[in-house]
A = this chain, B = another copy of it.
C-alpha cells in the first residue's frame, strides 16, 4: 500500500503543507495516519479525497459547505442521498455562476472591440476571438460593460 509523506502529498494535491494541516484541523481531512513519532502518513485514498476537495474548492464551494460534505462522507454510505443533494445544489450554483461569467465575458469582448475600433492602428494580437472559443453565448443582450469610452474623465467633452 503506497503512502506519502506530507511533502509528497502536498506536491501531488497542489495544496500547501499548511493548507493540508489546516484542512485536517477544520475537518476536511480526517483519519489521516501517523507514524509512531506523530508525523502524518497520507494514503492513495487520502490523495483521491483531496482531489474531491480540490474540485469543490475550485468550483467555489465555501469551506463551511465542504465541511458539511466531509462530515457526511465521514459517516459512511447511509449519507449517500444527502451527499447527492449537496452536490446537485452545488452544481446548480456552479451553472449559474458560469452563465454569469459567460454573460459578462460577452460584454467584455464588446468593450474590447469598441476600443479596437477606436484605435485601428493597433495590432489585434491577443484575444483573437477564436471562432471555436471555449464559451458560446448568443449575442442577444447588452447591459453592463457597454462598449463606451469609460465615461468619466470627460463629462463635458
Contact = CB atoms under 8 A, between A and B. Distances in A.
Nearest to A107: B55
A43 B29 CA distance: 52
A152 B49 CA distance: 7
Given A95-B135, A102-B134, A84 B116 contact: yes
Determine how many copies of this chain the complex contains.
2
Given A51-B143, A55-B104, A101-B97, A88 B126 contact: yes
14 contacts: A45-B155, A48-B151, A54-B144, A59-B101, A59-B104, A73-B150, A74-B152, A75-B153, A76-B153, A77-B154, A83-B150, A89-B126, A94-B108, A98-B102
Interface residues of A, number: 68
Interface in A12-45: 29-31, 43, 45
Looking at A92, A105, A144, the one whose CB has the most chain B CB atoms below 10 A away is: A144
